[in-house]
Structure 1
């Protein structure tokens, strides 16, 4: 599909092939949200590989091409060249580029898998093997990123790590993440439910084990684990639930259910040891929900002075931080501070940064 370009607007092709089919994960939501934010300022065409992806994408022109995991990805530029783009943006760093005739921006979200190399379980077995080999050294990452004209990342923390490891000689810009708009925060004078909410995967570096162990000191609280989980992983974690503690495995929730939980829970909690950004923090804070998180550089960047920080491996200090929010005045102040901190992140600012990159690369 195509659309006649508007006068003065750049033609930007956004790679939406990492959009999920049934529900967003972090990369999927980032890409879809950025596309929606850029659309008012540019003539946007989306690249998809499955028409079911359109259910989670804005209503914009699209072109269907190969999957990004297909061997045909090596030659994807032959199809993209036909679109006459002023800029092509990919929310990952793996997009094929051989023979391209357009400016290209690739994205690196984090360096998590260099420290924690276990690949996501949804990847095909051959890709998981390559994934582990890829993260044994930095040179493959440099090779991928240097194919672009510019590189995007989502946080100052990741930008610092990229520079530390000299991952690219290309210009690096922050095209940040942000919460969804038009969400009314909760009343800080309200009474929070004695529950805690975790949104994220159950990969080892997410450190859900410490959250569960911490519930030994919170027998009157319920820990809600929202994400989908395999039966095997659930059995492993259920075996760790302390006697008398309440831990609920939701195995996936809708966006509406997620918001409803955030609007009544005492706090969003995560003790993840590595993140590129930490979108659940901002989603919770935007609704006025306090966050109790691991004391890491990225969470300090995102949570600012509003978040409550604890050592990642201390279930007792985690429980104590939650207990501290039982003070109504402290909880209300934390709720108000959370809304103010979340407001420092906006998709419109990210869209404008991408448009500035398009102008620089076009001139």
Structure 2
């Protein structure tokens, strides 16, 4: 196949978006070396993309937001270069065979979790996705949600996600937030209402497991509709029971995952939910919300809890095992995801031809 591949989010946008764009392209190239890529690249990313994919033809993409660029420019480049399909993020270029990756449609089921500007942008995605010949997403659970709320879409298939190679290949480095500690409980994610951080903080504090030498380390910055934190948060920070750090490097995050006593994620919903999968990959026991997507992705390798029940969270944190997990080889790789994507594209195209 000759593929117009969307790299718009190579160096900007949500971390999950950047990871998916980069990792899928790398694995697709490795798994299917006979395929040819025409890379749609913003001018500022040309050198970085060319350094990793020398010899791949590039076409320049201008303007923002991403949706406008996709709708106005990608179809022109697809026709000009005679590609078999365009593979893009969220928006389908009109008039060409396309497969698009949609992370989630939680804004359709729970609009109250998002700001007005977010909703205004996100609500365009399902409308323009109708032009796609194939919609792919991360999990079976999210594929069902997309189908249920968007019956006019032609085909929706899950392809999976995996732990970023930037984490798995990193040489772990201790971040400053962990210096002098005997251990710690960890949570990672954007600080918004959907991540349910308030219950996580309240439950961890009520567990009695936290001390100044074994605090809760919270990695993540504010994003979207902010979370309401419990009244005792400021006191807990002053006492050293909770430590906030807005961001860490990949090497520092790998160290935190490797050395945490326990990982906690009480998100109210997720399209996939990479952080607990990342923590389990590094051997850290995990306590997570009892939601379908975590059951799908973590199976028996997690402790599940009602994300609204502070006492249940406290008991789960208090009684979580101290032993490290051994889940080597149990989670998909990016090569699995690339094969799933390529197979879904092939089947969709065969179905069209017949």
Instruction: Please report the TM-score for the alignment, with normalisation by the length of structure 1.
Output: 0.78
Aligned partners of 2:193 and 2:227 also within 8 Å = no
Q: Is the alpha carbon distance of 1:142 and 1:215 closer, same or farther for their aligned partners in structure 2, counting shifts above 3 Å? A: closer
Q: Which residue does 1:5 correspond to in 2?
A: none
Structure 2, unaligned runs of 5 or more: 173-180
What is the CA-CA distance between 1:255 and the residue it aligns to? 0.5
What is the CA-CA distance between 1:303 and the residue it aligns to? 1.1
Q: Which of 56, 63, 74 is the aligned partner of 2:59?
A: 63
What is the CA-CA distance between 1:17 and the residue it aligns to? 0.8
Q: How far apart in 2 are the matches of 1:55 and 1:24?
A: 18
The answer on 1:172 being equivalent to 2:159 is: no
What is the CA-CA distance between 1:183 and the residue it aligns to? 5.2
Q: Which residue does 2:297 correspond to in 1?
A: 302
The answer on 1:37 being equivalent to 2:35 is: no
Aligned partners of 1:215 and 1:242 also within 8 Å = no
Q: How far apart in 1 are the matches of 2:104 and 2:313?
A: 25
Q: Which of 198, 202, 222 is the aligned partner of 2:191?
A: 202
What is the CA-CA distance between 1:247 and the residue it aligns to? 1.2
Q: How far apart in 2 are the matches of 1:204 and 1:299?
A: 18
Q: Is the alpha carbon distance of 1:241 and 1:154 closer, same or farther for their aligned partners in structure 2, counting shifts above 3 Å? A: same
Structure 1, unaligned runs of 5 or more: 1-9, 135-139, 187-191
Aligned partners of 2:3 and 2:36 also within 8 Å = yes
User: For 1:139-218, what aligned pairs fall within 5 Å after superposition?
Assistant: 142-181=126-165, 182=168, 194-217=183-206, 218=209
What is the CA-CA distance between 1:307 and the residue it aligns to? 0.7
Aligned partners of 1:48 and 1:63 also within 8 Å = yes
Aligned partners of 2:107 and 2:119 also within 8 Å = no
The answer on 1:105 being equivalent to 2:96 is: no
User: For 1:145-294, what aligned pairs fall within 5 Å after superposition?
Assistant: 145-181=129-165, 182=168, 194-217=183-206, 218-220=209-211, 221-229=214-222, 240-241=233-234, 243=236, 244=239, 246-294=241-289
Q: How far apart in 2 are the matches of 1:346 and 1:80?
A: 29
Q: Is the alpha carbon distance of 1:275 and 1:290 closer, same or farther for their aligned partners in structure 2, counting shifts above 3 Å? A: same
What is the CA-CA distance between 1:120 and the residue it aligns to? 6.6
Q: Is the alpha carbon distance of 1:233 and 1:120 closer, same or farther for their aligned partners in structure 2, counting shifts above 3 Å? A: closer
Aligned partners of 1:177 and 1:350 also within 8 Å = yes
Q: Which residue does 1:93 correspond to in 2?
A: 90
What is the CA-CA distance between 1:37 and the residue it aligns to? 0.7
Q: For 1:263, what is the secondary structure of its paired residue?
A: helix
Q: How many residues align?
A: 325
Aligned partners of 1:213 and 1:315 also within 8 Å = yes
Aligned partners of 2:100 and 2:134 also within 8 Å = yes
What is the CA-CA distance between 1:213 and the residue it aligns to? 1.2
Q: How far apart in 1 are the matches of 2:344 and 2:227?
A: 44
Q: How far apart in 1 are the matches of 2:64 and 2:343?
A: 26
Q: Which of 315, 319, 324 is the aligned partner of 1:320?
A: 315
Q: Which residue does 1:137 correspond to in 2?
A: none
Aligned partners of 1:142 and 1:167 also within 8 Å = no
